[in-house]
Structure 1
Amino acid sequence: MSSLSLPQKRFYRQRAHSNPIADHCFNYPRTPDEMDWSKYYPEKMLDSNIKAEVDIVDIGCGYGGLLLTLSPMFPNNLIVGMEIRVKVSDYVMDRIAALRCQHPGIYQNIACLRTNAMKYFPNYFKKGQLKKIFFLYPDPHFKKAKHKWRIVNHNLLAEYAYALTEGGLVYTVTDVNDLHVWMVQHFTEHALFEIVPQEETKKDPIIEKLYSSSEEGQKVSRNNGNKFLAVFRR
C-alpha cells in the first residue's frame, strides 16, 4: 500500500465481539502524566491554539467514522478513538495516516489507540480533562451473565465522571432498546450525571451526525433499524 492509498477494510476484518474481561497485551501509561500524546498529533502539538491534551473521546470507535466526522467540527480539539480489536484499530490508524497524506493539514487532530477502556481508561485521562465522551452502538452483550461486560456500568460511570469536566457531555446511541434503557437507568441513577432534555439536544449540531457517521450506524440505517439516543451531562 502506497502512502497515499486508503486502506481497504476487507484486509482488516475481525470478529465483531471481543471479551473485555480477558487478558490482552496492551501498552498503557501508569498515570495520565506519563502519556505522550505528541506522537499521535505531531503537527497539532506545534499549534499554539491547541491545548496539548485530548479532550474528546470515542470509546469503541470501530472503523473510525465518527472520528472523521468530528475532526473538522472541532479543529482546535484533540480527539482520540479507543478500540480493543487489533485489526480494527490498525485499520483506523492506517486510515488516518493515509488521509493526512492525501489532505495536508487536515485530520491532524484525530488519532486511535488500541486499548481496553474498561480496564485502563483512568490511565490516560486526568481529572476533569474531557469535554465529550461518545458511546456509539456499543456491544449490547445480550446474555444476562455478560451484562458485566457492558461499557456502561456503575463502576465505570465513576471513572467517566472523574475524567469529565463539569458540564461535560456523554453521548450514547444504540439500536438495541434494552441497552438504551440500561444506559439511561445507570446514568440517571448516578449522582454525578443528569440527562440532557430532548429540546436541548435538538440544538446540538453533533446530534444529527451521530446516527450515521459510524459504520455500525450506516448498517442500522440500511436495515431500517431503530436508533435510540440519550445525552448526559456531568
Structure 2
Amino acid sequence: MAKRKRAEEQLQESRQSVILPQKRHYRQRAHANPFSDHTLQYPSSPEAVDWTLHFPGFAGLAKSPQFADVGCGFGGLMIALAPLFPNTLILGKHGFTRSLRMEIRVQVSQYVQDRITALRISSAEPQSFQNVSVVRANAMKFLPNYFAKQSLSALFFLFPDPHFKIRKHKARIISPTLLAEYAYVLRPGGIVYTITDVKDLHEWMAAHIKAFPLFEFIDEETLRKEGQGPIIDAVCTATEEGKKVERNGGEKWLACFRRITDEP
C-alpha cells in the first residue's frame, strides 16, 4: 500500500509540474487574410477526416464534433465548455480572424494545441479535455470539408474581425453565401451563437442571419430556460476578447439563432 501511495503521489507531482504554455511565446498578428491561399492541406470530405487523431480518448466510438468554434483564438471558449459537456466533441477552427476549434494563424493554433496537450497531461481525470481539439484551417473556404451535412449542434462566432472598411465587408464571417454553408453543416434545432463588442458588426450579423430563411432569432431568456445558460455564460466571459472588453468596461452584443428545418 505504501508503494502504491508513493506512486500516486509521484504521478500527482509530475502532473503538477506540467507548465501550461504562455501566450507571450506565441506572438502573432491579430488577423490573417481569409482570401490568401495558405499552404494548408484539407480533407477531401468529412469521411476522410480521422477524428481519432484529434480525440484519442474517444477512439473506436465513431464520434465526430458537435460544437465548432470558428476563429477560436486562444481557446478560451472550448476549454470552458469541455468539462460541461464531457461527451461532446468540441472543435476549434483557427479560421479567418481568430475555434473541432478552427484557427488560421500558425502561432495561435499551435498555442491552443499545446494548451490542450498540457491540460490533458496535468489533469487528474484521464478523460479530462479529451473532447477538445483544434485545426488550422480556413473555415470560409473549407468548412464542408470537415463537417458532414447537419452534423453540428452549435456554431460559435465570437468577437470576429469587424472589417470596418466597406470594401472589407466581403471578408466578414457572416454573409449570405457563408450562411448557406452554416445551415448545411448545422442540424435542425442547432444554434448559431454570435457576440461582438462592435455594435455595427452586431447589427450586420443579426440582419443577415435574420434574413436567411433557415435561421430564426432566439432570445437569451428562451435559451436559458432551455438549459443553455452555461453556454451563454461561456460565450460572454470565457474568451480572451470577452475578458478584455470587461476589463475596459466595454459593451457586448449577443445574438443567437436557431437552425429551422428545411423539410416541407
Superposition TM-score tier, normalisation by shorter sequence:
over 0.9
Is 1:44 matched with 2:58? yes
User: Mapping of 1:1-16 within 5 angstroms?
Assistant: 4-16=18-30
Q: Does 1:88 align with 2:99?
A: no
User: Which residue identity is paired with 2:86?
Assistant: P
What pairs with 1:165-204 in structure 2 (closer than 5 Å)? 165-203=187-225, 204=228
How far, CA to CA, are the matches of 1:130 and 1:105 in structure 2?
A: 22
Q: Conserved in 1, the CA contact under 8 Å of 2:28 and 2:108?
A: yes
Query: For 1:71, which of 79, 82, 88 is the aligned residue?
Result: 82
* Counterpart among 52, 61, 65 of residue 72 in structure 2: 61
The reply on whether 1:135 has 2:135 as its aligned counterpart is no
Runs of 4+ residues deviating >3 angstroms = none
The residue that corresponds to 1:120 in the other structure is 142
Determine the structure 2 residue equivalent to 1:216: 241
SS at the partner of 1:108? Answer: coil
Instruction: Tell me by how many angstroms 1:4 deviates.
Output: 2.1
CA drift at 1:58: 0.3
- Aligned residue pairs: how many? 230
Letter in 1 for 2:112: V
User: Which residue of the partner structure matches residue 120 of structure 2?
Assistant: 100
Q: How far apart, in 2, do the equivalents of 1:33 and 1:137 lie?
A: 30
1:58-117 per-position Cα deviation (integer Å, ceiling 9, x unaligned) = 000000000101101111111000001110000000000000000132000000001100
In structure 2, distance between residues paired with 1:178 and 1:69: 28
Deviation per CA, 1:24-74, whole angstroms, max 9, x where unpaired?
01111011111111100011225x5xx511111000000000010110111
1:187 Cα deviation after fit: 0.5
Check conservation: 2:219, 2:255, Cα contact below 8 A: no
Q: What letter matches 2:56 in structure 1? A: P
Shift of 1:181: 0.3
Alignment TM-score, normalising by the size of structure 1: 0.95
SS in 2 for 1:132: strand
Q: Secondary structure at the match of 1:200?
A: helix
Q: Quick one: percent identity of the two aligned structures? A: 53
2:190 alignment partner, SS class: strand
Indicate the residue corresponding to 2:262 in structure 1: none
Secondary structure, in 3 states, of the residue corresponding to 1:38? helix
> 3-state DSSP class of the match of 2:155?
strand
SS at match of 1:211: helix
> How much does 1:209 deviate?
1.9
Q: In the alignment, what sits opposite 2:252?
A: 227
RMSD between aligned residues: 1.4
Gaps of 5+ in 1: none
Moved more, 192-201 or 97-106: 192-201
TM-score w.r.t. the length of structure 2 is 0.85
